[in-house]
Structure formats: C-alpha cells, structure tokens
Structure 1
Amino acid sequence: MSSVSVPTDRKAAAEPGTPPQGGLSSTLVLALGTFAVGTDAFVVAGFLPSMAKDLHVSSATAGQSITVFAAAYAILSPVLATLLARLPRRTLLIGALFTLGIANLGSALAPNMAVLIISRILAAAGAASYTPNAGAVSASLVRPELRARALAVVIGGLTIATALGVPLGNAASHWFGWRTALGIVAGLCLFVAVILRLIMPWLPGAARVPLRTRMAVLRRPAVLAVLPLTVLGMCATYVPYAYAVPMLDAVQIPESGVLWMLFLYGIGAVIGNLAAGHATDRWGSTNVLIVGCAVMAVALGALAWLASTDADVKPLVGLLCMLWGGSSWSQTPPQQHRLIEVAPQEAPLVISLNSSGIYLGIGLGSIIGGAALGAGATTVYGLASGIGALALLFLLFTRRASARKG
C-alpha cells in the first residue's frame, strides 16, 4: 500500500499552489514535536540536583550538560541545515525525532557524565534538525491564508514547552526519578516520529545553500547590531535558571514550592511572548525590548536582594518569577521583527541565526551560573541582573545602527 501512496503524495506536493491533503493534522503533530524538542531542551534544569547526586558530581558540573546541549545546538543548526537541505522533509523530520528519542534514552541510561555529555550532543543534533524545519513545513502544508496560523500552532508547541518543561521535569523527577523523566521525553519523540510517518505527506527537500553563503549575513553591520542582544538576554536568564532549584531554595522556597514557582515563570514566559508580539506591532520592537530588558534586570536584582537578606516573602518571589519569565521571553518576537527589517531578503536565515543566538546565550549563562554557584545565590542573581543591564545598554547604544538595512 505504501508503494501506491508515496507517488500520490509526491504528485500532490508537486502541484503548485495546492498544499498536500492532511495539512492541519500534520501541523498539529508537528506542534507536538516542537513541544517534545522544547521539553528536552528545558527539562534538565528541573531535576539538576538529583541528577548530580546520582552521577556523583556537583550541581555545577551536572549543569554543563545544559551548556553542551545549547552550544551544540547553536553550532550544529546552520551546519545541519546545509548538509541535510536536500533530504525530503518527512524523512528529515522523522530522522531528527528518532535521533532525539535515542539520545534521550542514552541520557536516561547514562552511568556517568561522559556518556551523558555525548548523549546531550546527539540530542542537540536532533533538535537543531527538527525545530527550524517544522515551521517551514507547516507553512507549506496549508493554504496561503492559513500559513500564519499554522506557524503559530507549531511555535506554540515550543512556547508551551518553555512554560511547562522545567516544572514537568521537576515533578517527574520527584515522582519517578530523573531517568524516567528523560525516558518519557524519549518516548514522546519516538511516538511523534511514528505518527508523522503515518500522516505526513511527502515533501521534497530544498536547494543546498553553502554554509559560507549562510554565514555571510553576519558581516552586515545592521545584523551585528541586533543578534548580540539575543545572546545577552538569554545569558542573563540562564545564569540562575539553569540552577533554578538551588536558586529558589536560596529565596526561601521549599522543595514542595519549587514546582509552582517554575510554573509561574513559565506562565510569565507565555504571556510575555504573546504580549510582545502585539506590543511590537503597536509600539515598535525597540520600545518593547527596552521595557523587557529593564524589567528583567530589576526582577533579577530584586531576587538577589531577597537572597542576601534571607527574607521569606513567597508571594513576592512568585511575582518576580513571573516577571523574570515574561521579560526574558518577551524579547524573542521583537528581535525576530528587527532582524527581518534589517535583512528582509534573508528572513529565514536570520531567524535561524537568532535561534542559534538563543541557545548560545543559554550555554553561556549556564557556564557563568555554574562558575558562580559556589559564591552563593546573591552573586548568581546579581550577575544575571548585571548582564540584563548590559543588554539594555547594548540596545540603547546600537538602536540607530540596527535601524539601517543591510
């Protein structure tokens, strides 16, 4: 039966202006895939202490698994986009999810840090292959008037993972153990891969763009005036967030309350992301970013103050966690908007580079947070607040340069 259906799919995909049938159902499954990918990226922070204890290493050392994943994603994303460009889209997406699933099984069974690090690099390769292509495929599976909606659905999976990934990891670790938590993520990845194989139509690959051509856009002054802000913003967020469990303990949040604080952070992230999109259309990307960077620096600074005073003000911590999450993830929509404005002809490329910038910031933040962990939570939060303030200064000094195209 498959020998009959594949040519039919190819014929449908080849007819210009006629999206393949089953576009909506495929888009929903693609969104489930981005949820799985996002959960894998964020889940480790939720069970870092228990993972460190089981592997007989410090929390700072275990946190480097986050660093390695983020750095590998940032580096591999443009490389894999070049190497795998000609693969049929269904084959690419299924292969990426299968790789991610096997990598998570490897992480769940890792007997030591060396095996864990190798498996996290493999997981990053799967994630870097899946996420950028899922959005592009979703747009090609529906009618033109539904493309923005399809993109929103697919990216929504990633946004929900931002909100729920760490809380779910924390809860699963508490109830079942961290290895089971990673096993569940692996199972979800493999499940989505099977469903995609069953319902997603065949789509051709794309023309291969040399890596040198892809990276040439980085030589443009206007692009260079925008991208570093993505790195700084995510770096500020992840200095304490990669070590969220001990950082929340330092502001008098007991183990039973950590899940709720992480959930508040996630709710703030979703609200901030959605509100920033509307606010950017109304007031402009730079104004939204100024507010976001300022709120982030103040919220993290307030957490540093609470950690230094040992004050027990749980409702205030909850509010600050929401502001922290909201201000951090409110930066993505206006940053993408700025990049499209300065390089409209290379929009897919600069958006991909912005994703690499996000993961580069996550990696740098986890390195800095791990290095400062021994100095105490006040120092960690203070460093994060300082980097947030640096992001604001960078934005103010470069906003004129970023307003020029090319």
Structure 2
Amino acid sequence: MKKFLTAVSAVAIIGFGITTFHDITYAEKSLQEVKEERSQIKKSLSDAESQVADILIELKELEKEIAAVNYSLNQNEKMLNEIKNDIRVTEEESEQLQKEIEELEANIEKRFNILKDRVSTYQKTGGAVSYLEVIFGSKSFGDFISRVSAVNKIADSDARLIEKQEEDKRKVEEKQEELQNKLEELTGMQQELEEMNQLIREQKQQVESQKEALKAKETELNNKIKSLKMKDSELKALENKLKLPKVQTLSYSSNTKTSSSNGGSSSSAPAGSGFFAWPTSGGYVSSYMGPRWNSQHKGIDIARTNRSVVPPIFAAADGVVESAGYNSGGYGNRIVIRHANGLKTVYAHLSSISVKPGQKVSRGQKIGVMGATGNSTGIHLHFEVYKNGALQNPLDYL
C-alpha cells in the first residue's frame, strides 16, 4: 500500500497548491511570477498524473485479486452445496435404515420368541424327542417318516434362526456405524468449508475496501488535475496578455472621461465607436472575447489596476435597467441595461448593486461595485454588449 499512501500525500500537496493559486488575483501578477507559477503547476500536474497512473496499475492488480477471490468463493460454494446435498441424502438413508432396523428388530424379537418357546418345550419334554416316541406316536410308517423329517427340519430351522439372528444384528450394527461415520465426515467438511468461505468473504471485503479507497483518491486526483489544467490555461492567457505592450487605461467620473497611465509609459488604446464610456474607474482588459478554457468567453474582463482599491462600476451609456440581481448561471451579481439603437450591456461579478429594474440611468452613473461573485477567479468586471440580441465585441463600442 506504499503507492496508496504516496497518492494520498500527493493529493494533499496538490490541493494546497490549488488553493494558493485560487486566492491570488491573476491580473496583478508580473510576467515572471506567472511563469514561475505555471512551472509549479506543471510539476504538480506531472506528479498527480504519475500518481493516477500508479493507482490505475494497483487497481488492475486488485481487480485480479478480486476475480481470484470470487472464483475461490464460487468453487467453495459449489462444494458446500454438494456436501449439503450428500448430507441430505445420507440423512434420508438414515431414516430408511431406521425403518429397516425397526423391521429387523421386530423379526429378531419374533425369532427370539420362537426359540424361547422351543426351549421351553424341550425343558418340559426332558430334551429331544426320541425315535421310540416318534414310532409310538405314529399311526403308520408314512406318518413315522414324516415325523422324523419334521424333527430334523425343526432342528435345522433352529440352527438357521440362530445364524440369521446373529447375521441381522451384525448388518444393523455395520450399517449404523457406516452412516454415522459418513454423517460425521460430511458435517466436518461442511464446517470447514463454511469457515473457509467466511475467511474468503472477509478477504474480499478488505480488497474491495482498498479498491473503493483507491477509486476515491483517483477521482480526487483527477479533479485536482482538471483544476490545475484550468489554472494553467488561465495563467497562459494572462502570460500572453502580459507579453503585449501596456495600453492606456481610461477612467470615467459621471459623464466626464479622463485618462490615466497603467503604471508607467503607455501607448494609444485601440479605437472603438465611442458609443459606450469605460464602465469602471481605471483598470485594463485582462481577458478578451473569444475562445477560452474550452468554452466561448462572451465579453471582456476588466481588472482593477490598484489591488488595494475596489473600483465602482458605471453605466456605459444612458438607458433603462432591464434586470439587476444575483444570477445562478455563473455571473453572480449582474446588471443588464437597455440602451438606444437596440443595444444592451451586461455587468457581471459585482460585489454590490446600486440600481433596480426599471430605473433610468445616465452615462457614467454608478450602478455598483466591482467584485468576484459567481464563477470568478478574482475581483474584476465581466462586460458584454448585445445589438438586437446578437453578441458584439465590447471593444468595438468602447
């Protein structure tokens, strides 16, 4: 189980690493920090995948062991059923023998009574019948011959009765002993097989418990691997953004637009239509619209420039609040504003909301505060634009 313990340790280490990544706002990292964290994630990924591979190998071995245990259990069950059937048959034979014994005992009793009567007659007559008595008692020579033959037959019959008596007793005793020995042997085998089956079941339960524990760790590791890959994808996107030249960030207060530098030298920001004002105070685009993390990013993410300040969120243009509240689809606290020309704007992940549905708002009016509610990796504003229901690139309108 050494591999099993190693896997558990790996899960704990990886889990700690993920918590660390999750608590840091990616938008505020330097390029070097991002590269170092990606390197750490890749190492954790390699370790976790290695542990999963070891677990899969051990699971295969456990499957083989379970199969062998099941085979042994099935074979023992078959033998046990056969022995139980033999015991049943033997018990039926014993019942039948008991009936035969009762009949033999009855016959023995009859023979015993015959011999007893015969002996009693001999005692009364003084012994064996003499030929003279036979002659005197005979009415004719033929009757004499018959009487002599009868006397001989009686003597022979007595001898056979005694022999039969002894033979029947011997058979009964042998049959009783044979059945008793067979029952004792079968009962002993049954007990041994039942004890063996119990041991096999306990062994099977232990192996299955190990399998369940390994499967749980495998699932946990796979979840961590998935999270690590997602974080690595986020960091990769951030790394690509940090490699781009820094751009000028805009700050709006009410309807007045001012510009501020994002910490040093700056260049001109890409030009949009200018229909919408910058929806927050300062900040920069940390994630663009398009494919991201195996899904479609419907808008842009605007991260705060100063980590110590949580900036307000402003209405990008005059309009009417269509909805304002918590969204269970991952947006967290979200506001939707309907503008002129079929345009709508969406503001998501807010920490608080300052407007209500149906309320009219002006360009640059504060409507909430930037946050990290819903599915968010850090404090930022998710901003979407729609025209006549069709999704638009916000950068074309800012």
Q: TM-score, normalised by structure 1?
A: 0.21
Greater per-residue strand proportion: 2
Greater per-residue helix proportion: 1
Highest CA radius of gyration, 1 or 2?
2
Q: TM-score, normalised by structure 2?
A: 0.21
Higher relative contact order (CA 8 A, sep 6+): 1
